[in-house]
Amino acid sequence: MKRIVLLFVLLVYVQVLRAQEENSVDPSMEEASAVRVIDSHLCHFKKPLQDPTDEDDDQYCDCDVHNTPMGLPEVQIDCRKHQLADGFWQEYEQLPQGTIRLDLSQTGLTVVPRLSGENLRYLNIGHNQITTIPDKVFTNVSLLEELDLSSNRIETLTTDALAGLSKLTRIDLSGNLIRSIEVNAFSNALHLKQLTLSNNTLGTFFIRTDLYLRLGVTNRLAILEMERCNLTDINLSSGVGLETARLGYNPLQQLTNLPKQLAHLDISGTPIRSLSAKFLPHLLHLVTLELKDMPILYTLEEYALYGLPRLSNLNLQGSRNLSSIHPHVFGQNVDRGETVTKLERLTLTGTNIRTLNSTLQAAFEKMRRLDMRGAPLRCDCQLRWLRELPNLQTLGICVKPNAVRGLTFGMVESHQFECRAEQFWIYTVFNVLLAILLIVLLSIGIVMIARAIRPKPHVQLRKVGASSPYARVTIEPNRAEVL
Ligand SMILES: *[C@@H]1O[C@H](CO)[C@@H](O)[C@H](O)[C@H]1NC(C)=O
Ligand SMILES: *[C@@H]1O[C@H](CO)[C@@H](O)[C@H](O)[C@H]1NC(C)=O
Ligand SMILES: *[C@@H]1O[C@H](CO)[C@@H](O)[C@H](O)[C@H]1NC(C)=O
Ligand SMILES: *[C@@H]1O[C@H](CO)[C@@H](O)[C@H](O)[C@H]1NC(C)=O
Ligand SMILES: *[C@@H]1O[C@H](CO)[C@@H](O)[C@H](O)[C@H]1NC(C)=O
Ligand SMILES: *[C@@H]1O[C@H](CO)[C@@H](O)[C@H](O)[C@H]1NC(C)=O
């Protein structure tokens, strides 16, 4: 009996509890969602989905509500520089309805917050102290398109770290401590277009690993950034969709495995002394080539830029030691006019280029802008061809020869581009003429003097000799007496 009574009491109790629960949830659905919105830890909504209060000193982030043309509210949350301690994050954080953008950079995070929001497109958790990305941590923000994890202390990326992010188009992992990435880490991100891995020590890792075949990056990837990764080489031949590769500031030895349709390549800061014909493969679609700030580059060798028929923008800015560009740098076909280059902009700012061989003229036919500011230009006869190119905007100042020192390249008239050899020749001719003139004058002078002197003794002797032959004899003793 006692047991039955106890069971009954329990049942009643449960019923009462349920009733209470129902009562608390009962009010209309609107209010339920409003309650959810007001409950946000990040924004302080006084009324549901109205622009929340925004005071600098409160514990809330800056939240903005906009209405889309469709009438739906969109929330953008900016928590930058708010110190949200890890304890702030509960089990998981339900974002206010309509949150499309959340910036949690520089908030002192040490773990990835577990967020839930079905509209979130952009998430920035960069510039924090995050060390690991737990598996599947982003599964409740599955519409995320851009994820910024830069400047943290992440050491590795696991296979499931990005699980569920099938809409991801951009991810920034730069400035972390990543040395290895697990197999298929990117294979969920089927729409990934831009991958940034700069400032991670991944050089040794990518000697053995293929970004595409092993890590699951797809051909949709258009932009790859891997600057300052200690890369010596990388095989990107499977990246048939790749358009832009930024691989600067790596100790690259060569780059022969680049996809053929690459349009923009940046290998600035590569510590090579000489760009040889073997360094780059033939890239038929390459438009831009950046070779800025190459610390020890001093020459572009013969054929170094051969096989780049679409190249229109070449930038060598700040490669301070660059002093020579081989006359056949684009290959001899171009020099002979058999093929044309598309080169339109050449930047030689801050290089050590003094002159350019006139053989390059064929390659410069399409050139519109040549920036040589800061280069120690020798504006002599060898550079005259450049001054005479039509439709070319030049920037730069002549340093030599003295006659044109300090003048803007484009302001020096073409006939002023003179060589010392030329001047020397004129002077020599002038000097020779002067010497001949002098000799002629001198000889005339001598002849005249000789004529003036010679006849006198001749005539006197004859006179003396003819009229009085004794006179001479009488004079001589007189002279002897005087002496
Ligand atoms: C995702 O949401 C579910 C509840 O809907 C929750 O149980 C789970 O822990 C959440 N996952 C993450 C990673 O936040
Ligand atoms: C990489 O590091 C360099 C210097 O260490 C710094 O100047 C640069 O801003 C960093 N870039 C990124 C994307 O972290
Ligand atoms: C960079 O790579 C070289 C070899 O490729 C290696 O010897 C060196 O230790 C690497 N540097 C760092 C900082 O890992
Ligand atoms: C580069 O990768 C492709 C396919 O991924 C492979 O066929 C080729 O042999 C690789 N090249 C080198 C030099 O490893
Ligand atoms: C490159 O130029 C810098 C000065 O700009 C100089 O200090 C350095 O020694 C040069 N390096 C080489 C390899 O010539
Ligand atoms: C320019 O290059 C050609 C071909 O290499 C060479 O014959 C010529 O001497 C060079 N001219 C000067 C002024 O260096």
Residue 389 to residue 174: CA distance in whole angstroms: 44
Question: Are 213 and 193 within 8 A, CB to CB?
Answer: no
Decide: 342 and 310 in contact? Cβ < 8 Å: yes
Secondary element (H or E) of residue 156: strand 156-157
Exposure on the CB side of residue 425, measured as CA atoms within 13 A: 5
Could you count the other beta carbons within 10 Å of the beta carbon of residue 434?
11
Question: How far apart, in whole angstroms, are the C-alpha atoms of residue 336 and residue 330?
Answer: 11
How far is the C-alpha of 116 from the C-alpha of 137, rounded, in Å?
10
The predicted-structure confidence for 149-207, as pLDDT tens digits, reads as follows 999 999 999 999 999 999 999 999 999 999 999 999 999 999 999 999 999 999 899 98
CA of 230 to the centre of ligand 3 (A): 6
DSSP 425-472: HHHHHHHHHHHHHHHHHHHHHHHHHHHHHTHHHHHHHHHHHHH-TTHH
**20 close to ligand 3 (CB < 6 Angstrom):** no
For ligand 6, atom 14, name the residue with the nearest CA.
Answer: 357
Angle value at C-alpha 445, between 443 and 449, nearest 5 degrees: 115
Q: How far is Cα 118 from Cα 85, in angstroms, rounded to an integer?
A: 24
SS3 category, 314: strand
Q: Note the pLDDT tens digit of each residue in 351-396.
A: 999 999 998 988 898 899 999 999 999 999 899 999 999 889 999 9
The structure's pTM equals 0.78
Instruction: pLDDT band for 87, please (50, 70, 90 cuts).
Output: low
DSSP letters for 368-399: -EEE-TTS-EE-SGGGHHHHT-TT-EEE-BEE
Q: Which CATH class is domain 263-431?
A: alpha beta
Quote the CA–CA distance of 173 and 215 in Å, as a whole number.
15
Least confident of 87-101, 152-166, 353-367, 454-468: 454-468
Q: Say if domain 44-192 classifies as CATH 3.30.450.20.
A: no
Containing 73, the helix (H) or strand (E) segment is strand 73-78
Specify the pLDDT at position 337.
63
Mutate to test the pocket of ligand 5, among 317, 321, 323, 351 (most ligand atoms within 8 A of CB): 321
**Residue 318, Ramachandran bin (φ over 0: left; ψ between -120 and 50: alpha; else beta):** left
For position 418, what pLDDT does the model report? 84
Asked if residue 82 lies in contact with residue 61, where contact means CB atoms within 8 angstroms, the answer is: yes
Q: Do domains 44-192 and 263-431 have the same CATH topology?
A: yes
Is residue 83 predicted with pLDDT exceeding 80? no
| Residue ranges covered by each domain of the chain | 44-192, 263-431
454 falls in which pLDDT band (50, 70, 90)? Answer: confident
Name which residue sits closest to atom 7 of ligand 2, judged by CA: 199
To test ligand 5's pocket by mutation, which of 319, 320, 349, 351 has the most ligand atoms within 8 angstroms of CB? 320
What pLDDT score does 154 carry?
A: 96
What average pLDDT score do residues 288-299 get? 95
Distance (Å) from CA 321 to ligand 5 centroid? 6
